[in-house]
Amino acid sequence: MKPTPIETLREQAKVRQRSAAFVFHENVWTYERILVEAERLARGMVAHGLKPGDRVAVHMMNRPEFIVAYYACFLVGAIVSPLRTAFKQAELEPLLRRLRPALYIGETALYGNVAAIDGELLPRDRRFLVETGSGVNDGLPLQQLFDDAGRGDLPFSPAADQPAVLITTSGTTGEPKFVIHTASSVTESAERISNNWELAGQDGIAMPLPLAHMSGVAVFFACIYSGTPFILIESFDADTVLDTIEKYRCSMQLGFPAQYAALLEHQRARPRDLTSLRYCLTGGDVCPVELQRQFTAAFGVPLYNAWGATEAVGNLGYALRPGPVLRITRPEEVRLVDDDGKDVADGELGELLVRGPNLFAGYWNDLRATTESLKDGWYHTGDLARREAQGELLFVARKKDIIIRGGTNISPVEVEQAVAAHPSVEDAAVVGVPDAVLGQRVVGFVTLVKGKSERVVPGILSDLATRLAAYKVPEHLIVLDALPRNALSKVDRARLQAMAIEGDKVSRSRAAASAQRNDEQASRRAS
């Protein structure tokens, strides 16, 4: 049986006792220090009544206490549930109502979105803050848990197959779900990332990925698993990340497409020495090919695509060419199927299914959603792809995002890549809007490069008409200052679709009013 995350930490504390596991604000945290602090916090939580199976809500930006809290919960057999830092009180309250946490560990800067929540739902003597200060009327100092460590005894051996982590989905398609991961699935995810990404102890990673999201969780556990040191950054800031890579000679970087666009812009404005990098990975959303090319030219290293979901991480590796391409690392654990669940032939479009011991165990208290997503051991990802040569997958779109115009499927990714390739376009997204005759019509959104105005839009559409079939070309391109994104920097297509539908209604209303005025004028002339 493979070691659990806490067993891995204990082993690293033996063989790499004084080695740096991570650095935060130039403060070095060794593997031994993490273990010692986690054991103190775990004992303090037990002294305050925490039991195996209880939930612990962790609500903070990236900081050492977050990592310590993960391991402390593992030691107790409690379930750690990180809360998204972007959520407001109206979003957090229903989550906490479903979670029913036994303890809350947060920080002052975020506590304002929790402070007013009913004490019956979250007892005030169970709320602990990393920092206390002005403006905080309640909340106990987290140090109290550490101080009470001498009064708590730890369970002998928490089970590896019981729920250990509850990570929320983004909630862009409805109420966020709690995804259940066990200590075992966390280990499997860490091992697969370590192997697929060829992590090694000599590597270093700048780490702004949020520890409240599966991307950050999986990567930090993979770093501990492989002995790869990382530099923990509170939240993404392009200059901070670039300065960190230069200062600590990091050899890898992980992030989202929107973050790489910012890194490219800031590196051009103030170049750093980034020669220590050997490659970079992007995930969370489709990365424009043009951004990959520009990044590689400016940084001197390739930018590869990675795939993962809150429910499954590490099933696919990165491909060595630009575009939304992924590498199949375990063919027997990846399938593409049609709507009837039958495997499709190479080159045909199908839904991506994955399986393996790294899969989530289900959704918390949501049997219906669990049975819809997990069938016969396979996780139905909702992603559509084609199997290509040399064991590669070409990502086409999220199943729910496919646009069907006149009975023909249109991949929004394909259209977005074509739009983004125009030199006047900074970023692009397309959505389908309902149409009584065609089913759906294509509407596009763009942000333009500095110095460009809406006058370039007709030229962009004319250019698209030479490179895409007529039915794929957006009927309109709406210019925005920035595309709306969720906490993971994914384009919020639901918001864009709502904007497109509302804009369509306004256009139709104006057209109807104009037609009515013309009719009235014609009637007056006739009389």
The pLDDT score that the predictor gives to residue 462 is 94
Q: Please identify which residue in the block is written with the tokens 């369509």.
A: 504
The pLDDT score that the predictor gives to residue 436 is 82
20-24/103-106 β-pairing? unpaired
Q: How far apart are CA 527 and CA 521, in angstroms?
A: 10
The pLDDT score that the predictor gives to residue 20 is 94
The pLDDT score that the predictor gives to residue 74 is 96
Spatial CA neighbour of 325 closest among 341, 307, 312, 310: 307
Spatial CA neighbour of 244 closest among 222, 265, 261, 229: 229
Spatial CA neighbour of 47 closest among 70, 71, 67, 72: 72
The pLDDT score that the predictor gives to residue 235 is 93
Give domain 281-361+383-400's CATH architecture: Roll (2.30)
Average pLDDT for runs of 10 along the chain of length 527: 92 92 96 96 95 96 97 96 92 93 95 91 92 68 91 82 91 76 96 90 88 94 95 96 96 91 95 95 87 94 93 92 89 92 94 96 95 95 90 89 87 91 94 88 94 93 92 93 83 90 63 54 61
**With contact defined as beta carbons under 8 Å apart, do 479 and 448 qualify?**
yes
**Domain 402-510 grouped into CATH 3.30.300.30:** yes
**Domain 5-200+209-226 grouped into CATH 3.40.50.300:** no
The set of residues, in sequence order, having a beta carbon less than 8 Å from that of 419 and lying 6+ positions away, is: 425, 428, 430, 444, 446, 460, 464, 474, 477
Mapping DSSP to helix (H, G, I), strand (E, B) and coil, where does residue 233 land? coil
The pLDDT score that the predictor gives to residue 511 is 47
Residue type at 472? K
Can you give the residue ranges of every domain in the chain? 5-200+209-226, 281-361+383-400, 402-510
